[in-house]
């Protein structure tokens, strides 16, 4: 393109002047040698500039020349201006929302935009422009004043948009927000939304992190959902994948060194976060976080499998994420919470950066899940072989991780670090989630195998725990439909590979039967929720279980004694095992104590009342009993009130799988 082109000449000046000083004057002066935040390398993708203008910008150091190819009725091809960093850019006017475009690399291959905001025609098709400053076709209520939630107030509800409702869309979720609000949860956690191949997928095979899955309703559908959640007082968390991208439709390697030359993940090439040019790869994913928060108002993120993020740098990528989240939080005046999924049991994940930690706020605690699962089901194959049930559940409730540096047989090495001094909010606990259900061969939920009284016991252990609770969609009413692994790939070789891989995953568990075909549409349809039945048509007692969950959440929110401890080993958070398969959680706060008795066996158990509260407690009141008829139970012998000072000789008898919550005034 000739240098005399006035548009490119102006763009050259604007793009250059838009860049931070360390890019404009790369070799001038003495650069700072201390960390002051990740490099801001400018916008990516097709960014609206107002009045029909878009700035198109892509990092493509592998290409000497990049052309923007606008497709559709008004076809146009324009060469983009390149800077010394390998960023190619052009600003154009008269580009309406929905214009299809691709980039031509060195005059040969055409590729979609790596930072595409909209891929309505699939992962191999052209990208389309989207003006989020004035979205069309979307009806939004007035933006309400929204301050978010403090970390300690989060009660998560994880859902998959495609299977949560019959519509399989954001609007389908929006229609059921009243039930979630009534339940009492405070945070909706959405499984990954980045555009993936086809219209059926868990989302972890996404290849366009900026593009909202079109089959769910695209970016404008997500705008409606987030606004609707905020209007009902619900935070919105998004599950993001920064350890790999899916294989089908993944064209990043055509543009630059996005992937590591030295390592892989179990699911594909590892991303380049610590090798040459890795600052630009980091920038791509950090801009993605900014996009979700700035455009959609996302309140927090769950980072998938951070143990698979290969990064040996002195300042890891995840620390950059924490830094960026802190900056966004300051700018918009409300929290941006970060939750990690990790199998490392590494305390550094949730330590502040000033204490040489990563700076995330919380992390999923699989140890809690595994111990609870073994205690309730007796299953001990695969990784469940590492856990003994009730005694390990006691460890998780009292200290956080079960494995805090000891040898884990299924891993074949020592695992974990000390966690007893960490705050309760450092851990997210659950009885079910998409992984622990969907990665079972039959996708079977606890609702399909446990009795209603066992389900109530599991709910109490999660919701009344000294940690942040997470519910998996449908568990609040005992959903029995499976949640299976499903895909809609277009590559025959990939389809075959996924089928074989799923079979291999289950070998260590000894499960028998045929593995459901991920590619079969019926696998997806079987995974849809059947839903909470209407009043008067509930033979399975699902509404009773829903009411029990709602009461548990209400008590968690209103009883000071159930507030989260500043340390897991706080004296106010004591967990004991006075008898076989019997747990007692003793919590205190605001002059009151709470005693939670849980019988995890199929046999009756007895516990002295003095063991729960000691001898110096006043009048004791029963706040909740899982065996009461109100919840569909068969009745209980635990009285509603104990006299207080005379309880020394009182015994509390518990039915099989019964839980009881008692409160008393401290003396």
Residue appearing with tokens 């559940």: 393
With left for phi above 0 and alpha for psi between -120 and 50, is residue 536 left, alpha or beta?
A: left
Partnered with residue 103 across adjacent β-strands are: 68, 111
Q: Which of 248, 269, 341, 544 is catalytic?
A: 341
Residue with tokens 């860049």: 19
Q: What are phi and psi of 582, to 5 degrees?
A: -120, 130
Q: Specify the length of the chain in residues.
A: 667
Give the integer Cα–Cα distance in Å for 41 and 26. Answer: 13
Could you say which of 205, 275, 304, 366 is catalytic? 304
Residue 151 tokens, joined:
């970390």
631 Cβ contact partners less than 8 Å away, ≥ 6 residues apart: 456, 544, 545, 547, 548, 551
Instruction: Please enumerate, as own/partner, the contacts of 264-271 that have beta carbons within 8 Å and a separation of 24 or more.
Output: 265/305, 265/308, 265/310, 266/308, 267/204, 267/243, 267/308, 268/244, 269/244, 269/245, 270/243, 270/244, 270/308, 270/309, 270/310, 271/242, 271/243, 271/244, 271/245, 271/309, 271/310
What are the angstrom distances between the C-alpha of 559 and each of 462, 562, 594? 16, 6, 9
Q: Is the dihedral of CA 293, 295, 296, 302 positive or negative?
A: negative
CB proximity list for 496: less than 8 A, separation 6 or greater: none
Could you give the CA distance from residue 495 to residue 32 in angstroms, rounded to a whole number?
50
Indicate the SS3 state at residue 645. Answer: coil
Cβ count near 333 (within 10 Å)? 8
Is 602:658 a contact under the CB 8 Å cutoff?
Answer: no
Q: Is residue 71 annotated as a catalytic residue, yes or no? A: no
Neighbours of 667 (CB within 10 A): 12
Is residue 304 flagged as an active site residue?
yes
Instruction: Please list, residue by residue across 411-447, b when 16 or more beta carbons sit within 10 angstroms of its beta carbon and e when fewer do.
Output: eeeebbbebeebbbbbbbbbbbbbbbbbbbbebbbbb
Q: Provide the Cα torsion 377, 379, 384, 388; round to 10°.
A: 70
Dig out the tokens for 589 from the structure. 């706060």
Distances (CA, A) of 486 to 433, 489, 526, 532: 16, 10, 10, 23
Catalytic positions are 304, 341
């Amino acid at each position: 393109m000739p240098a005399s082109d006035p548009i490119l000449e102006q763009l050259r000046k604007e793009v250059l002047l838009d860049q931070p000083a360390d890019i404009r004057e790369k070799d001038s002066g003495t650069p700072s040698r201390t960390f002051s935040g990740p490099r801001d390398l400018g916008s990516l993708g097709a960014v609206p500039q107002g009045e029909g203008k878009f700035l198109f910008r892509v990092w493509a150091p592998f290409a000497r020349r990049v052309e923007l190819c606008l497709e559709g009725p008004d076809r146009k091809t324009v060469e983009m201006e390149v800077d010394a960093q390998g960023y190619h850019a052009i600003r154009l006017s008269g580009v309406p929302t929905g214009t299809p475009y691709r980039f031509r690399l060195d005059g040969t291959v055409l590729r979609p935009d790596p930072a595409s905001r909209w891929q309505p025609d699939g992962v191999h098709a052209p990208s389309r422009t989207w003006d989020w400053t004035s979205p069309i076709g979307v009806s939004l209520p007035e933006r309400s004043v929204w301050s978010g939630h403090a970390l300690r107030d989060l009660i998560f509800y994880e859902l998959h948009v495609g299977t949560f409702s019959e519509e399989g869309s954001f609007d389908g979720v929006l229609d059921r927000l009243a039930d979630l609000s009534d339940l009492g949860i405070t945070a909706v956690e959405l499984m990954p939304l980045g555009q993936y191949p086809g219209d059926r997928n868990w989302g972890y095979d996404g290849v366009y992190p900026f593009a909202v899955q079109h089959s769910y309703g695209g970016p404008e559908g997500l705008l409606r959902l987030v606004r609707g959640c905020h209007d009902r007082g619900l935070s919105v968390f998004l599950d993001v994948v920064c350890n790999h991208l899916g294989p089908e439709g993944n064209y990043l390697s055509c543009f630059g060194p996005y992937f590591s030359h030295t390592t892989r993940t179990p699911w594909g090439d590892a991303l380049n976060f610590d090798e040459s040019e890795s600052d630009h790869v980091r920038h791509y994913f950090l801009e993605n976080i900014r996009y979700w928060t700035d455009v959609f108002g996302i309140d927090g993120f769950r980072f998938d499998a951070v143990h698979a993020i290969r990064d040996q740098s002195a300042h890891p990528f995840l620390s950059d994420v924490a830094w960026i989240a802190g900056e966004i939080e300051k700018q918009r005046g409300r929290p941006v919470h970060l939750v990690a999924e990790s199998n490392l049991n590494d305390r550094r994940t949730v330590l502040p950066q000033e204490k040489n930690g990563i700076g995330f706020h919380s992390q999923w605690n699989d140890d809690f899940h595994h111990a609870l699962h073994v205690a309730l089901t007796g299953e001990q194959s695969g990784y469940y072989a590492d856990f003994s049930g009730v005694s390990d559940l006691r460890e998780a409730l009292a200290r956080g991780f079960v494995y805090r540096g000891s040898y884990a047989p299924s891993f074949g090495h020592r695992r974990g670090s000390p966690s007893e001094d960490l705050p309760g909010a450092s851990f997210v606990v659950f009885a079910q989630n998409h992984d622990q259900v969907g990665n079972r061969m039959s996708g079977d939920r606890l609702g399909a195998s446990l009795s209603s009284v066992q389900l109530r016991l599991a709910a109490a252990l999660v919701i009344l725990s000294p940690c942040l609770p997470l519910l998996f969609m449908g568990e609040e009413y005992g959903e029995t439909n499976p949640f299976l692994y499903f895909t809609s790939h277009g590559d025959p070789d990939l389809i075959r590979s996924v089928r074989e891989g799923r079979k291999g995953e289950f070998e260590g568990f000894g499960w028998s039967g045929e593995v459901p075909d991920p590619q079969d549409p019926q696998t997806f349809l079987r995974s849809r929720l059947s839903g909470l039945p209407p009043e008067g048509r509930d033979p399975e007692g699902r509404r009773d279980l829903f009411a029990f969950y709602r009461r548990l959440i209400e008590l968690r929110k209103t009883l000071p004694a159930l507030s989260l401890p500043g340390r897991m080993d706080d004296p106010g958070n004591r967990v004991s095992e006075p008898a076989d398969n019997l747990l007692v959680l003793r919590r205190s706060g605001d002059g009151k104590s709470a005693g939670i008795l849980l019988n995890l066996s199929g046999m009756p158990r007895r516990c002295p009342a003095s063991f729960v509260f000691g001898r110096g407690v006043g009048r004791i009141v029963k706040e909740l009993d899982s065996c009461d008829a109100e919840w569909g139970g068969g009745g209980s012998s635990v009285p509603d009130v104990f006299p207080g000072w005379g309880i020394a000789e009182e015994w509390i008898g518990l039915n099989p799988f019964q839980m009881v919550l008692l409160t008393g005034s401290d003396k």
